Structure 1
Amino acid sequence: MFNQNRIYRVFQLINYLKARPAKSIKNITRFLNTSERTVYRYLDMLSDLGFTIEKDGANRIWITCNHDTLPFTEQESDYLEKLIRSSGKRVKLADSVLQKIHQRSEVNVASKLVFNAHLSLIIEQISLAIIQGRQLLIRNYSSANSQTVTDRIVEPMCFTDNYDSLSAFEIKSKQNKYFNIERMGSVEVLDRKVQYENLHKFYKPDLFGYQGNQVDKEIELDMSLRAYLMMKEEFPMSTHFIRKNPDTDRYHLKCKVQSFQAPGRFVMGFAEDIKILGSKEFIRHIKRIVRNNF
């Protein structure tokens, strides 16, 4: 049973670190309910399995899988294994290659299956709460804003178009918010009817996921390829506002947002890869962050 729990934790960690934003060691420790020493041991193991452990400017962690280390399909793994075994020579190099084939294919496929099943169950429970008009307990929610892992009690309203997020009224803060499905540890439909339906409001989110009726704050960025790829992965809606500079390898983003908070964090995490072109208000916001934290 111990080994099963440990394997499940590794699968949880793989998908937790694939989902944006990047996570601090403290948050990972809380999410897995384990020690920092164990977290570092898991990270070393993921690195040995072929995952690239990335860090931003604040030492927050995420993992990537480069094109040259993409997992093999079941058919590709089977073909390579037969090819190596047919060489007729039993050498350590062959054993090493076979081990890596099994690691990269089975671990990635298994973790993906576990994660997809987990998300499916969460979406099913949320849908039930919406249909029945009941409050919902979100356990171990990893917040991109506060960088904390906490439980939230909400009144769910609806999903975003691609089922990435839930629009809900949070009881404690008395605010309408978006909650990323992949950042939910688990959910529970409570035996309580919604009580604040008159306060429910749905606003279309900006590209960083912030909702509100005043999307009037402008940002303009010049980004490296690395920053562009991370922006596109972490905030998929940003692709509609990004243009490649035909004369350089840089990418240009200009848009209006509800809040400077998320773009500010992103810029600080990739300070060496991003030039801030505007607005003056956003530049002042970044200067305040630097002044208060450095």
Structure 2
Amino acid sequence: MDEQRKIYRVFQLIARLRSPFGCTKESVANDFEVSTRTIERNLNLLRDLGFIIEKNGDRFKILQYGKDLLRHEELIVFTLEEACAIRDAMDLGSIAGPLRKSLLDKLYALTELDELSETLRKNSVSMSIAQIRLAIKNKERIILKNYHSVNSNSVSNRLVEPIRFYNYFRYLLAFEVESASVRQFKTERIGEVQQTSKSWKCENLHGNQRIDMFGLSGNKPVAVVLKMTNRARHLLEEEFQEATLLISQVDDYYVYKGQVYSFEGIGRFIMGLADDVQVIEPIALQQFVVRKMNAALKTWKQAN
């Protein structure tokens, strides 16, 4: 757990330092519930790795360079020996599931091996994300080819205006032209991305929707608190790596504190582990789960 939190925190710090306004040590320390001294050590680690971090007032930011201005030898890469050492350390630790895959992808992306670069290049999800990011930057429409919808159990092409990614590129929020509505798309279900070179036409309809950890969208977040067994905690972190920072241990159980925009997503998780999860807050979520379970039980009895 500690290893996961440390690595996760460093990656998150890099992301925040790359934002237009950077970040303060205090804000990052508060978010991750660590001391500012810990964040200072993380900043020094990044400097040692070659990141150029500038300070403006109390805010820190990674200095950006145009890719065409950088020579290969100036890029931050790992040698084969370094990459293998990090990978072996991960293998010996407790990091597993989606988090391990995510870390290895980023490690390989920063390694000077042609075969590792080729592995990542063939990753269709990574390629789709890169194309979508370009379309978002240029405010252009794209076609999500062969998108697999679980709800309708169908595969189709979707003409969309991509708005933003959520949950570490797990989901894409986009305006779908055919339905004239903002929808969420899971990036791993996109077959490929086709550029159209056509500009957005419906930006005024994009709205301000957000997506929670469970992939549900909305405008108003609802705070939830769950009490879980170690089994439930492990399964939640394995499926949603971002949950790691929202879980704390209390005696022999674990507490998840987060926000959701719909009870549907978190409700499915709770019902799937009914013996291992207890809803503490809010009461509305407790009532939602009870209604869903009663409806499922009624349907099951009628079918049998």
TM-score bracket, shorter-length normalisation: 0.5 to 0.7
Q: What residue is the counterpart of 1:244 in the other structure?
A: 249
CA shift at 1:134, angstroms?
A: 2.8
Q: What residue is the counterpart of 1:231 in the other structure?
A: 236
Q: Distance in 2 between matches of 1:256 and 1:128?
A: 30
Equivalent residue of 2:294, what SS?
helix
Among 157, 176, 196, the residue aligned to 1:190: 196
Distance 1:116 1:277, change over 3 A: farther
CA shift at 1:149, angstroms?
A: 4.4
Q: Distance in 2 between matches of 1:149 and 1:235?
A: 25
Relative CO higher for 1 or 2, CA cutoff 8 Å, sep ≥ 6? 1
TM-score (norm 2): 0.51
Among 163, 180, 184, the residue aligned to 1:178: 184
CA shift at 1:289, angstroms?
A: 1.3
Q: Distance in 2 between matches of 1:137 and 1:194?
A: 13
CA shift at 1:155, angstroms?
A: 0.7
TM-score (norm 1): 0.53
CA shift at 1:136, angstroms?
A: 1.9
Q: Kindly indicate whether the alpha-carbon contact (under 8 Å) linking 1:176 and 1:202 is maintained by their aligned counterparts in 2.
A: no
Distance 1:253 1:128, change over 3 A: closer
Q: Distance in 1 between matches of 2:214 and 2:167?
A: 15
Equivalent residue of 1:201, what SS?
coil
Among 210, 213, 216, the residue aligned to 1:210: 216
Among 241, 255, 258, the residue aligned to 2:258: 255
Q: Kindly indicate whether the alpha-carbon contact (under 8 Å) linking 1:167 and 1:202 is maintained by their aligned counterparts in 2.
A: no
Equivalent residue of 2:278, what SS?
strand
Q: Distance in 1 between matches of 2:267 and 2:153?
A: 18
CA shift at 1:256, angstroms?
A: 3.1
CA shift at 1:222, angstroms?
A: 1.7
| Identical positions, percent | 30
Distance 1:169 1:285, change over 3 A: same
CA shift at 1:192, angstroms?
A: 4.2
Paired letter, 1:190 = T
Paired letter, 1:134 = E
Q: What residue is the counterpart of 2:147 in the other structure?
A: 141
Q: Kindly indicate whether the alpha-carbon contact (under 8 Å) linking 2:246 and 2:258 is maintained by their aligned counterparts in 1.
A: yes
Q: After the TM superposition, which residues 46-125 of structure 1 pair with which residues of structure 2 at under 5 Å, given as runs?
A: 113=119, 117-125=123-131
Q: What residue is the counterpart of 2:159 in the other structure?
A: 153
Q: Distance in 1 between matches of 2:264 and 2:256?
A: 16
List runs of 5+ in structure 2 lacking aligned partners: 1-96, 101-114, 298-304
List runs of 5+ in structure 1 lacking aligned partners: 1-63, 68-108
Equivalent residue of 1:214, what SS?
coil
User: What is the count of residue pairs matched by the alignment?
Assistant: 186
Distance 1:239 1:147, change over 3 A: farther
Paired letter, 1:170 = E
Q: Kindly indicate whether the alpha-carbon contact (under 8 Å) linking 1:140 and 1:149 is maintained by their aligned counterparts in 2.
A: no
Equivalent residue of 1:271, what SS?
coil
Q: Distance in 2 between matches of 1:142 and 1:237?
A: 24
Distance 1:155 1:268, change over 3 A: same
Distance 1:277 1:161, change over 3 A: closer
CA shift at 1:184, angstroms?
A: 1.9
Q: Kindly indicate whether the alpha-carbon contact (under 8 Å) linking 1:138 and 1:184 is maintained by their aligned counterparts in 2.
A: yes
CA shift at 1:190, angstroms?
A: 3.1
Q: Distance in 2 between matches of 1:181 and 1:266?
A: 21
Equivalent residue of 1:124, what SS?
helix
Distance 1:116 1:135, change over 3 A: same
